[in-house]
Amino acid sequence: MDLRDLRFGIEIETVKRTREKVANAIHSVVGGQVGSCQGAWRVTDETGRIWKVVHDGSLQNVPSYLRAEVVSPILTYRDLPKLQEIVRAIRDCGAKCDEFCGIHIHVDAASFDGRHLSNLAKMVYKQEELILHALNVSRRRQRTYTRPVAAGFIRRIENERPNTRGELNRIWYGYDNRNPVHYDQSRYHGVNFHNVWYRGTVEFRWFEGTLHAGKIKAYIQLVLAVAAKALNSRKALSQKRSFDPQSARYDFRVFLLRLGLIGEEFKTARQHLLASLPGDSAFKRGRPAPRTNSAGTEAPAIAATTTTVRR
């Protein structure tokens, strides 16, 4: 599975502009028709896909009429440039993101069985400290809407080794839940497996609110790469990686490369995802001090003939 073949959707929470204004901003990019029903706005684009702008009760820093959550239709990788245009239009209409706003990215779970979902859970559990630091996820969000993967959940996966969604369902809920409801409390995790059975997607809830089109593209590429890696791996290890400030940027760069975020296509994604981490992306233990010659001046660099990646 190539990350570019996965379908996804996105929810972007905003404040300071009415839902009507945000809907009209979307309409200015996608065309089609725009209208409202019971306070929610819908933009039906020229291909028949529906973009929704709805109320979000969690955005309590502003009056109700200035809360707008954008809910995309099902998108493909080819839609990324158009999505970025939409984000810029929403920003240009005056919408903002405050500390209560977040972004949720949904990946189509149709290709995931119990083994693939277990791979995903273990991969995230292993790298979660790095991911949370790289994405600047606030402590408040980690305690509430974006809780980390539970160690007990991973232990049960390791012990029971689920192969089917039904087997993983019993591990996730603690019982056989055949009728999941929308506001089940298990949904409030950085990686929300509840949505697999409720809506048919894996939901990633790590992201602080932003209307920076480049960052949103980077977040989507990260999520798609993690999902594709889980689908393509025969197994995954769950031994948790501790966060080391000295090597954090190097460690996360290596993780991104192993996910396949290599080359010019993903250059800006790597820049955004590494920007908040301490350390040096090229040196695990920090960039070495310049060598000096006997006169006490910096010695000329010797060109390297080979390139190695430190593990």
Q: Of 219, 223, 260, whose CA–CA distance to 109 is shortest?
A: 223
The one-letter amino acid code at 205 reads R
pLDDT for residue 306: 39
The burial of 304, by beta-carbon neighbours within 10 Å (0-12 exposed, 13-18 middle, 19 or more buried), is given as: exposed
Residue 181 token pair: 């409801």
**Burial tier of 124 (Cβ tally within 10 Å: 0-12, 13-18, 19+):** buried
Write down the pLDDT at residue 60. 87
Tell me the pLDDT tens digit for each residue of 120-160. 999 999 999 999 999 999 999 999 999 999 999 999 999 99
Supply the angle between the helices 267-274 and 213-232 in degrees, to the nearest 10. Answer: 100
Q: How confident is the model at residue 309 (pLDDT cuts 50, 70, 90)?
A: very low
Partner residues linked to 41 by β-bridges: 36, 53
User: CB count, 10 Å around CB of 170?
Assistant: 14
Instruction: State the Rg of the chain over Cα.
Output: 21
Q: What is the pLDDT of residues 171-203, one digit of tens each?
A: 999 999 999 999 999 999 999 999 999 999 999
Confidence of residue 289 (pLDDT cuts 50, 70, 90): confident
pLDDT at 38: 87
Alpha helices in 98-184 (DSSP H): 114-134, 139-143, 151-160, 165-173
Query: pLDDT by residue (tens digit) across 20-68?
Result: 999 999 999 999 999 999 889 999 999 999 999 999 989 988 999 999 9
Range with lowest mean pLDDT among 21-35, 226-240, 248-262, 277-291: 277-291
Give the model's pLDDT for residue 281.
Answer: 93
CA dihedral 95, 97, 98, 101 (to 10 degrees): 120
Instruction: Tell me: pLDDT of 297 over 80.
Output: no
| Rounded-to-integer distance, Cα 194 and Cα 204, Å | 11
* Band (294; pLDDT cuts 50, 70, 90): low
Q: Measuring CA to CA, which residue among 117, 306, 152 is closest to residue 229?
A: 117
Q: How confident is the model at residue 299 (pLDDT cuts 50, 70, 90)?
A: low
Query: What is the predicted pLDDT for the residue at 39?
Result: 85
Q: Domain extents for the chain?
A: 3-113+137-232
pTM: 0.92
β-partners of residue 202 are: 107
Give how far the C-alpha of residue 182 lies from the chain's centroid of Cα atoms, to the nearest Å.
Answer: 21
Q: Above 70 in pLDDT, residue 88?
A: yes
